[in-house]
Structure 1
């Protein structure tokens, strides 16, 4: 690498680092210290913890590469570690809402100090190893930006006042009913997984490998609120024949009767911009894998496999309704030909369990705990959502959640055998 290329790379790395770190703070604008300390359920985390944990990640895995580095806040490491057992013990996840200290001001100061130290490190020069660590930290931060939004939404919905996080900045420009059509997918041997060595990917997206696709079709758009409402009104939540056994047990135990955030009258839903009338043409969201699978059975269809999804999405530009649009809610499909809404709006449940690809090798050391150890009892989602940063998503990206999870912006695309 020549000197001029090295200089550009250093400046680009610094600019990207500062942009993403500032965006996390921007998502917290208007939120009080009290807002940022709420933990409304065990699966969520306080906003303040997200701010601090993402900073700890850079301190631990970037600055900590230097044996001479000394942390200014070693006493905080126990409560800011998430699940890296090889790094050390950690505070129990369901009890993060008890962490009144450090204060929000102290966390902001911590972020500023670590940002300054990482920035200085970058400007001294970026080699391949440092660039990879910083990019991993930034991708990790973008994941937590999305979690911050979904967690504050659940926290605001859980309280009687149900406050508005932020008024939607963009009204919908089109809201038409787009007929659902099933488009044929490719049959035969295809390659999926990350194969571009010049671009970032998590280890669980690799290696690129061959898989077989049987004859199938995929819906041209996402399932809408109106279509899911018909399932609810037809007794979908009362018919055990539609549900996986664990799903039916969950419905009974939790008393599910509709998607999370839908009101009991089925005419409105809670959003990050407050309560709004249910838009029949917008994608249904905040449904679990169990609900997605039950709806697909009711509709005489099934969920796509991740191989089918990726093969259909590879020809599509990774553009759509992402975090940058500041709608923070899925919008209706636009009239048009071909596959729509493959990216953004809602994460799409697939019929594929979250397991390793053939030949998978996790990252070495503690970073190997990032993805691989969660390959058990979870299902793959694809495509990103309205809370996902656009430059965080790619066709090979594999998100994963347990089948009961509902608080993420997750929705449904149907598939069929043919």
Structure 2
């Protein structure tokens, strides 16, 4: 029996559909970045997945999901093939309204149903987080669309050194992971860790500090990069964060979320770039366990402004067990995805907990991620 009413799910649904507002039909259908799907697809996908888990998995009703499975199941529709197959926005909005009504009725019915997925409110929490994660992705879609519309003008910013204030975290014992019902499988089981003494920056690296890295030849000096990162940098011809624009008289840094752009945390950088900066600064990226230990100790300022790259490849915790399906975490324990912690300004409350683990390939630069330095 579920203890979670659907009111928050209804809010997240409405917020998802509202992501279509203010966009032209072409923008709604546009694939704004190779790693992002069109806005229309995201809206349809989140409603489809709520219906899949609730109507199909709990009640055995496939009347909705069978009709849309080959479009809204990610594995069945390549990103670059989705746009042409999507319905028009008015049709999608009508469908969304119908699905919302059906799902609200199913959530009410679920209160009196005994099903493993409903135990302790698990499924409602799972669905809320799925909506929350896609809302963040939809905000990234809107960001990429906006970048194409900006008129570049110089941003007043001066380069700064990598100097920063560090907080020392002494050797101690800490529980790592999330014990509550909303935990994803990769956050469990909770285990005891024994981090040695380390130092971690009180705040994230800023845009001004990143400009210092650029001015110091950060994208030209291979000594600060590992071999794979340098090969990627040369191949992709990367010379600055993803959303920065080089002008004849300076840089255009479109970061409307922050009033003080120079001191705002840098983002638009991948893991390779983050690690190169850390070496330039004479430091390193924090290990994932260190980051969570420092977060739980309360020594990190500005958490939740940008995702923060950690040193680790995404890995299973001791005793990991996939749930509710193998595909959420297991395929990404491949050594090619790296952990980012802390949430961003685009993140909903559902994924801002200390134990939440995000993970991406080291080349992803559109995800509003930055870095915080550490050293032993």
**Fold conserved between structures, TM > 0.5:** yes
For residues 155 and 30 of structure 1, what CA distance do their matches in structure 2 show?
Answer: 12
Structure 2 residue aligned with 1:224, among 206, 229, 236?
206
Match status 1:129 vs 2:120: no
TM superposition shift of 1:416: 0.7
1:87 alignment partner in structure 2: none
2:328 alignment partner in structure 1: 370
For residues 66 and 408 of structure 1, what CA distance do their matches in structure 2 show?
Answer: 33
Alignment of 1:7-406 (within 5 A): 9=3, 13-66=5-58, 69-72=61-64, 74-83=66-75, 90-99=76-85, 101-126=86-111, 129-130=117-118, 131-157=121-147, 159=148, 161-162=149-150, 180-196=164-180, 199-265=181-247, 266-271=250-255, 279-316=261-298, 338-342=299-303, 344-364=304-324, 367-376=325-334, 377-406=336-365
For residues 305 and 261 of structure 1, what CA distance do their matches in structure 2 show?
Answer: 27
TM superposition shift of 1:163: 8.3
* 1:283-319, Cα deviation, whole Å (9 max, x unpaired): 1111100110000000000000111110111144xxx
For residues 147 and 350 of structure 1, what CA distance do their matches in structure 2 show?
Answer: 20
TM superposition shift of 1:66: 4.9
2:366 alignment partner in structure 1: 407
| Conservation of the 8 A alpha-carbon contact between 1:41 and 1:94 | no
* 1:162-202, Cα deviation, whole Å (9 max, x unpaired): 489xxxxxxxxxxxx99821111131443211123xx4111
SS of residue paired to 2:254: strand
For residues 155 and 97 of structure 1, what CA distance do their matches in structure 2 show?
Answer: 15
| Conservation of the 8 A alpha-carbon contact between 2:307 and 2:340 | yes
> Unpaired segments of 5 or more residues in structure 2?
153-160
For residues 359 and 72 of structure 1, what CA distance do their matches in structure 2 show?
Answer: 36
SS of residue paired to 1:267: strand
For residues 57 and 223 of structure 1, what CA distance do their matches in structure 2 show?
Answer: 37
SS of residue paired to 2:353: coil
TM superposition shift of 1:254: 1.1
For residues 307 and 256 of structure 2, what CA distance do their matches in structure 1 show?
Answer: 17
SS of residue paired to 2:267: coil
| Conservation of the 8 A alpha-carbon contact between 1:58 and 1:134 | no
For residues 282 and 342 of structure 2, what CA distance do their matches in structure 1 show?
Answer: 23
* 1:8-50, Cα deviation, whole Å (9 max, x unpaired): x4xx512112111112223332122221111033211101000
For residues 163 and 237 of structure 2, what CA distance do their matches in structure 1 show?
Answer: 32
1:327 alignment partner in structure 2: none
> Unpaired segments of 5 or more residues in structure 1?
84-89, 165-176, 317-337
SS of residue paired to 2:56: helix
SS of residue paired to 1:129: helix
Q: 1:73 to 1:193 in 2, by over 3 A?
A: closer
- Number of equivalences: 360
Please say which of residues 376-385 and 23-32 is displaced more in the overlay: 23-32
For residues 163 and 272 of structure 2, what CA distance do their matches in structure 1 show?
Answer: 25
For residues 163 and 58 of structure 1, what CA distance do their matches in structure 2 show?
Answer: 39
TM superposition shift of 1:124: 2.7
Q: 1:123 to 1:178 in 2, by over 3 A?
A: farther
RMSD over aligned CA atoms reads 2.4
Q: 1:237 to 1:110 in 2, by over 3 A?
A: same
SS of residue paired to 2:174: strand
Q: 1:64 to 1:184 in 2, by over 3 A?
A: same
